[in-house]
Amino acid sequence: MRYLRNTWYVAALDIEVGREMLSRMILGEAVMLYRKLDGTAVAVIDRCPHRFAPLSMGKLIGNNVQCGYHGLQFDCSGKCVVNPHGDGKIPRAAQVKSFPLVERYGMLWIWMGDADLADAELIPAYYSHFDSPDWKTVRGHSFQEANYQLIADNLLDLSHDQFLHANYHRKDAFLTTPHEVFVDGTAVVSRRQVLNSIASDAFAGNLPDPKLLVDQWKIMRWEAPGYFLLDLGVRPSNDPQAPGLCKRNAHILTPATETSTNYYFINARNYQRDDEKVDAQIREWQRIGFGEQDKPMIEAIQRGMGKQDLFDLNPILLSVDGAAVRARRHLEKLLKAQDEHEMQATLAQSAITHA
């Protein structure tokens, strides 16, 4: 399968990685993550170059990984630094691929493409509020047996809320509100707004007066390969300067294989930040809404589709599909550009060889 390679993917939440090695499939490759003694997280291929044992079955010795099979040690750049056998000489090819890894905004970002291009400034800064004390986050990770684009379709068409998550959206100001879909630079945005109405279920319980008239918004922003920012909130209609109750949530999709995805979600709110009951409500929504409503539906679709492409199956298109279709087309354009670039690189390489 083709994946966008020269881009940052989330490899794990920061809290998932420590002094126990974590093996995670990313773009079809087994990657192993751990933290050095100074806390820096690193990522290498989870396969010893000697007999192909998963390195994650070995153990950490200081900053190095010792293979659990024959004891070769690799430093965090993937270079073999100890060969306990014979004269101890280290074969030149004894090297595990390592990956640029950056810890930022509570996540570990990995670069699976050309390491020379790995520029940390490309990590989307619109997740920076997760570091701010003005926002309280509740985070999670789910492994889903579905292609990441099927999950993206789900996120880009929140009109499914009122059906798949009907129990959470009995009273929802957005049910009949049209989506405005537009392209903003490299992002696809789907926006809904409702003015002067009572608040949706999602916020009503957190307002001092649930009957207060509010302006409400729900804006999903997508960028390739699978970054989502969901900005939603309510603000008293009679006080346009009020900060209101806001959420700025991340949904981030990292392809594991062609038919599976590591899905990371971070819920961030600017209100009742110390209220653990609100935390618990959000956790419950992540568990039920994502885990017991979205996940079985999307996985059933994946099983039914097998490895066929969505568009090859001639789906009918509805007004609510605008964002998902635009995102799929944009991603396809990026993949074609990557193909083109790789072909030219191959040709250039071949010219050099023949020169």
Least separation in angstroms between residue 117's CB and its own copies is: 26
Cβ distance to its own copies smaller for residue 65 or 138 = 65
- Cβ at position 348, least distance to its own copies in Å: 25
3-state SS assignment for residue 231:
strand
Distance in Å, CB of 65 to its own copies, minimum: 12
What is the smallest separation between the CB atom of 191 and its own copies, expressed in angstroms?
Answer: 15
Nearer to its own copies, 274 or 312 (CB): 312
Query: CA–CA separation, 227 vs 107, rounded Å?
Result: 13
Smallest distance, its own copies to C-beta of residue 37, A: 21
Both ends of the chain: CA-CA distance in Å? 33
Our CB check for its own copies shows the closer of 205 and 315 to be 315
Measured from the CB atom, the residue of 143 and 163 that comes closer to its own copies is: 163
Contacts of 289 (CB under 8 A, 6+ apart): 165, 168
- Smallest separation (angstroms) from its own copies to the CB of 301: 5
CA distance 282 to 71: 45
In angstroms, the CA 33 to CA 140 distance is 18
In terms of CB distance, is 240 or 304 closer to its own copies? 304
Pick 188 or 214: Cβ nearer its own copies: 188
Residue 323 to residues 155, 189, 288: CA-CA distances in angstroms? 10, 7, 25
Closest approach of its own copies to the CB of residue 5, in Å: 21
Please say which residue, 57 or 212, places its beta carbon nearer to its own copies: 57
Least gap, CB of 294 to its own copies (angstroms): 9
Q: Is 240 exposed, middle or buried (0-12, 13-18, 19+ CB in 10 A)?
A: exposed
What is the contact surface with its own copies in residues (CB under 8 A)?
30, 47, 49-54, 57-58, 66-72, 83-87, 91, 93-94, 153, 157, 159-160, 162-164, 178, 296-297, 300-301, 304-305, 310, 313-321
Q: Are 218 and 253 in contact (CB under 8 A)?
A: no
Angle between helix 148-156 and 322-354 (nearest 10): 140
Residue 194, strand partner residues = 216
- What are the backbone dihedrals phi and psi of residue 125, each rounded to the nearest 5 degrees, phi first? -70, -15
Q: SS3 for 29? A: strand
Nearer to its own copies, 47 or 218 (CB): 47
CA distance linking residue 147 with residue 157, whole number of Å = 16
The alpha carbon torsion through 201, 205, 206, 210 (nearest 10 deg) reads: 90
> CB of 73: closest distance to its own copies in angstroms?
11
Each as own residue / partner, the long-range contacts of residues 169-172 (CB below 8 Å, 24 or more positions apart, any chain) are 169/200, 169/201, 169/202, 170/201, 171/198, 171/200, 171/201, 171/204, 172/200, 172/201, 172/202
The phi, psi pair for 175, rounded to 5°, reads -50, -40
Of the pair 159, 237, the CB lying nearest its own copies is at 159
